[in-house]
Amino acid sequence: MQYLSRFSLPTRMDEDDFILNFPPQLEMQCYGHNNIYPFGLFPPKQLSRLEFSPLTIFAGSNGSGKSTLLNLIAQKLGLRRTAPFNATPFTEPYLARCRAETTNDRPIPPDSRIITSDDVFDYMLDLRAINAGISDRREKLFAEYADFTDPTKPTFQLGSLEDYEELKERNDARRSTKSAYTARRMRQTELKTASNGENAYFYFTQQITEKALYLLDEPENSLSPARQLELARFLEDSVRFYGCQFVISTHSPFLLAMRNALIYDLDSTPVETKNWTELAHIKTYHKFFAEHGDEF
């Protein structure tokens, strides 16, 4: 399924017109013509229009504009995002000169969103906080068990009906091992202990549902090669069986090798589409392993 069909960026003429009519209020705020990001980023690459497929990938070195493109598309389409977007005073005038076209002029599905590395990182921090709370609760129950089963403590006296629940807990402790008592009293289900990579992969599988447009910014971060392959299969299946469209920025050879991916090489001038094996950083991988081939 395809929802976004093309995206047009300001041409060099559009950007020159903005510079010639540079807002004086921005000049007064110490913004000069040489500091007007995202203006000035894409004309040197001769990039003014992008065509999309159900699976489109932006490839390129650091600073090539991959993440910028994703964020511009997300902002222009009004996609849902979790982590804040660091806009500049020039983002809105730049977006006003951009144009997004949808397939058959249909609206973008409401579940569509952009997922960045910050989203995944924040999710993992939330998991740590939850697990920390569970650990605190467990430690309190251990201390409670030790108090209830301490033979040196005086016998608990039932003074009123309000003490009945504590009496039951004390009797339960005396009849149980510490682990059994704690397990019964835990009111939260402990999260499965998992690595950052496992949690990151789980995050993508939970956030990506069906029939929506997803923009993914370097989703391979925190993922092992095996998990990257798993993610690639998941994304391919989401396109093939669940009506999803993806626009992805990545360095990962495992994601770049996905079937039927339309790949833009942002390191080339002009920017052009390439097969994944033609990309410079993939050739770097290939050369490295070829040089160490006798070590395998």
283: pLDDT strictly greater than 60: yes
Q: Residue 119 — very low, low, confident or very high, per pLDDT cuts 50/70/90?
A: confident
Which pLDDT value is given to residue 27?
A: 55
Q: Cα–Cα distances in Å, from 288 out to 281, 284, 291?
A: 11, 6, 5
| 196 membership: H or E segment, kind and range | helix 196-207
Instruction: Between 187 and 53, name the one with better pLDDT.
Output: 53
Instruction: Between 248 and 171, name the one with better pLDDT.
Output: 248
**What span, in angstroms and rounded, lies between the C-alpha atoms of 222 and 228?**
9
* Per-residue tokens: 260: 């039927």
Terminal Cα-to-Cα distance of the chain (whole angstroms): 41
Which pLDDT value is given to residue 35?
A: 72
pTM score: 0.76
Q: State the residue for tokens 């040089």.
A: 291
* Per-residue tokens: 62: 């650091």
**What span, in angstroms and rounded, lies between the C-alpha atoms of 247 and 68?**
13
Which pLDDT value is given to residue 124?
A: 66
Residues 6+ apart with CB under 8 A from 110: 212
| Average pLDDT value for residue range 93-112 | 94
Residues 6+ apart with CB under 8 A from 73: 4, 7, 79, 100, 215, 247
Q: State the residue for tokens 């993806």.
A: 246
Which pLDDT value is given to residue 188?
A: 44
- Measured at the CA of 202, the angle between CA 198 and CA 207, to 5 degrees, comes to 155
Q: Cα–Cα distances in Å, from 111 out to 169, 190, 294?
A: 47, 29, 49
pLDDT in tens, 190-226: 445 456 667 788 889 989 999 999 999 999 988 999 9
Nearest-10 Cα torsion for 140, 145, 146, 152: 140
Tell me how many helices (H) and strands (E) the chain has: 11, 9
Q: Where are the domains of the chain?
A: 4-10+42-118+196-295, 120-185
Helix axes 196-207, 225-242, angle to 10 degrees: 10
**What span, in angstroms and rounded, lies between the C-alpha atoms of 156 and 163?**
9
Give yes or no for a contact between 77 and 4, defined as CB atoms under 8 angstroms apart.
yes
Helix (H, G, I), strand (E, B) or coil at 195: coil
46 φ/ψ sector (left φ>0, alpha ψ -120 to 50, else beta): left
CATH fold for the domain made of 4-10+42-118+196-295:
Rossmann fold (3.40.50)
Which pLDDT value is given to residue 164?
A: 64
244 backbone dihedrals φ, ψ, rounded to 5°: -95, 150
187: pLDDT strictly greater than 70: no
The proportion of the chain whose per-residue pLDDT surpasses 70, expressed as a percent, equals: 80
Give yes or no for a contact between 156 and 165, defined as CB atoms under 8 angstroms apart.
no
Q: Examine residue 54 and say whether the peptide bond preceding it is cis (omega within 30 degrees of 0).
A: no
**Which residues lie across from 213 on neighbouring strands?**
245
Q: What is the mean pLDDT of the chain?
A: 85
pLDDT in tens, 153-181: 777 666 666 666 776 777 777 777 766 66
